[in-house]
Amino acid sequence: MTRRAWLMMGGAAALWGASYMFIKVALHDVSEGGIVCIRTALGAAVLLTLAVRWNALGPLRGRMRWMVVIALVQVVVPFLLITFGENDVASSLAAILVSSAPIFTALLAIAFDRSERSTGWAAIGILVGMAGVMLLFGVDLSGNHKELVGGAMVLLAGLCYAIGAMLIKHKARGVPPVTVAGSTMAISALVTLPLFLASLPSAVPSAKVIGSLLVLGAGGTGIAFLFFYTLIAELGPARASVVAYIAPGFSVFYGATLLGERLTLAGIAGLLLIIAGSWLGAQGGLPRRLSRSGPSHSSAPEPARAR
């Protein structure tokens, strides 16, 4: 892991951690389908503008069928599951449950991708991170029926993210990350447009909701996914999915300071375990000085390497 890769991972985690808060705010005035449609449309606008500017759309030829599949698995289904689930669970808890994605990735790798299997310190890191997730889960989940259903929906979204990451690695090879992200967001916006039109707001959303949707779309859906897909191309799905371990730290902080969600000593301990697990899972060993440079396995053109 290079310092540049860690910066992209941290940037994606910070944006994704805030996304759950913005979803919670937007639910006050906008339907679940409307939120997903708006955020993916805004994300597509940012990403496709960059793809056109970098002349990176050519590799899509002959790949659109798989782009549709990836869009459904990686974006449409998990976005809807998370948004519906957040009706009944706190934004910080939603982020924590999505952090199960690296665990699902490791389990899928056993059957489908030997190169992504976690061994040694990386496997220990996954267990350490999962222990942190379980600790936070036990602290924050009250156990009522609605919250359990909402939590299960968000957990299922983590599985979708893991499957989607595997599909991107094997079916979008040679396609620049910005192109994968932009095309899947555009497809997702079109797929969810009927849901939005069927549940238009009865009044103009508040300024807070509009602002939340703008940041959610351009930042959490546009820039963050560009970072994430670049990490998949350069590091592989297993290491890239460690972003899901780091994001809950940001989400818990945002939820506690901006939404008044509770933060306990057990919660802090869980976050520390998640951070330790993310390091071991990504680095495959104990902490050491980050390398300043490293080999890149991305097929993306140089401009697509977001900084």
Per-residue 3-state assignment (H helix, E strand, C coil) for 16-31: HHHHHHHHHHHCCCCC
CB atoms under 10 Å from CB of 259, counted, come to 15
Least confident of 54-63, 205-214, 264-273: 264-273
Nearest to 164 by CA among 93, 240, 82: 240
User: The pTM is what?
Assistant: 0.81
CB 3 within 8 A of CB 301: no
Least confident of 113-122, 127-136, 203-212: 113-122
Nearest to 74 by CA among 82, 84, 85: 82
DSSP SS3 for 62? coil
Segment 229-250, tens digit of pLDDT: 888 888 887 778 778 778 888 8
Q: Record the tokens describing residue 206, joined without a space.
A: 């508040």
Least confident of 9-23, 39-53, 93-107: 93-107
Nearest to 37 by CA among 258, 245, 214, 188: 188
Residue for token digits 């094997």?
A: 170
Residue for token digits 């079916």?
A: 171
- What is the average pLDDT across 5-10? 89
Nearest to 91 by CA among 158, 17, 187: 17
pLDDT value, residue 286? 55
Segment 110-130, tens digit of pLDDT: 778 776 666 677 778 778 877
Res. 292 pLDDT band, cuts 50 70 90: very low
Segment 137-188, tens digit of pLDDT: 666 565 677 887 898 899 899 999 989 989 998 899 889 999 999 999 999 9
CB 250 within 8 A of CB 96: no
Domain boundaries, the chain: 3-304
DSSP SS3 for 146? helix
